Amino acid sequence: MSLITDIKVEIPDYNHMSQVMVYVTSESGHVGVGEAWWGIPSADNPGSTSIPIANVIEHLLAPRLIGKSSRTIEKHWFDLWDYGYRYADEGIFLMGLSGIDIALWDLLGKELNTSVCQLLGGPVHEKIPGYASLPALRDPEVVLSEVKRAMDAGFFAVKLHELDPIHVHNIRREFGNDLHIMVDVNGHFNKIEAIEVGKELAKGNVTWYEEPVRPMRDHAAIKEVGDRANVPIAAGENEYTLKNFEQILQSKALTYLQPEITKIGGITAAKRITGLTELYNTALSPHNMRIGPALSASIQWGFNSPMTAWQEVPWVRYEFAAQYKLPAVEDGYVLPPTEPGIGLIK
């Protein structure tokens, strides 16, 4: 047995794309690194929107784990979940729990000198197709040059965060029909607009249309958009509990499910969602838009989940770079992690 001796939370000062980092130390001397959801980016006051989530970890969760065993992650998850239930079972509390949980799995892997994927039962896949996930760029020339930069790095799939379908047509004209193109509008449109945009995206043969409509969790509206525009739909990054995931899968709105590991409760919650994707025969594509523990943990999970179809790989310019490197990607495929824990690469 190894007891947890220290838990720290940090909001690194990179830029407006902040992160909420969690460090859990045990008597073994190892430090597990995790990440909670980062908050809505603030250009004016970078990091400020992450503070409420960091506070959950520092003031509600961490004090309840000090002195406990680092080997009983499942028990800790349920004890903290039970404790926090009166703060609500979705939202900021679960984001904080996600950061703690990922750090605990990283710590356990380091203590046992094996990868989290191995702890979960080992990889199901030899490699996973990755897609380069571009930030919102808006300028047509910049979109094309960033797509080209991703293709030059070996990617055969890109995701845009653009609202105007013209960008898809531009990319098709410039780079042909073989490239996979995903389009994420983050729930920007009302239902009527979302259907019209979806029809245009269908003409560009997109691989999926992501969070097409607001509110983002209106499952019936999402299904109607997909049906009427005849385009595959991806969503799920704003769902939280196992019950939420059951509900969105029951709606039959989705071709691709995209849980965000920093919102759902970390790896302990993720392994339950694996079972749901099998039960509802739905492709899994773990969501993530940061380079660091969230991406590494998502990859460990993705390799262990039979239904994994794609892995999101943030494709950000140098000024958004964090303290960690992208994981191994070869010819557009994410390779199995081998390092202990979640396999962060400095």
Residues lying near Mg ion in the complex (CB under 5 A) are found at 184, 210
Minimal CB distance to Mg ion: which residue? 184
Which CB atom, from 8 or from 188, has the smaller least distance to Mg ion?
188
Give the nearest distance from C-beta 135 to Mg ion in angstroms. 11
Can you tell me the distance from the alpha carbon of 245 to that of 177, in angstroms, rounded to the nearest whole number? 33
Which CB atom, from 120 or from 334, has the smaller least distance to Mg ion?
334
Show the beta-strand stretches assigned E in 164-289. 180-184, 208-210, 233-235, 256-257, 283-284
Can you tell me the distance from the alpha carbon of 307 to that of 331, in angstroms, rounded to the nearest whole number? 21
Which CB atom, from 111 or from 184, has the smaller least distance to Mg ion?
184
Which CB atom, from 61 or from 147, has the smaller least distance to Mg ion?
147
Query: Which region, left, alpha or beta, applies to residue 211 given φ > 0 means left and ψ of -120 to 50 means alpha?
Result: left
Give the nearest distance from C-beta 279 to Mg ion in angstroms. 24
Q: Which residues 6+ apart lie within 8 Å of 27 measured at CB?
A: 2, 3, 5
Residues 253, 241 contacting (CB under 8 angstroms) = no
CA nearest neighbour of 16 among 37, 51, 44: 44
Which CB atom, from 109 or from 187, has the smaller least distance to Mg ion?
187
**6-31 CB burial, b ≥16 within 10 A, e <16:** ebebebeebeebbbbbbbbbbeeebb
With H, G, I as helix, E, B as strand and everything else as coil, classify residue 207: coil
Give the nearest distance from C-beta 42 to Mg ion in angstroms. 19
Give the nearest distance from C-beta 56 to Mg ion in angstroms. 23
Which CB atom, from 210 or from 239, has the smaller least distance to Mg ion?
210
Residue 329, beta-bridge partner list: 334
Give the nearest distance from C-beta 129 to Mg ion in angstroms. 17
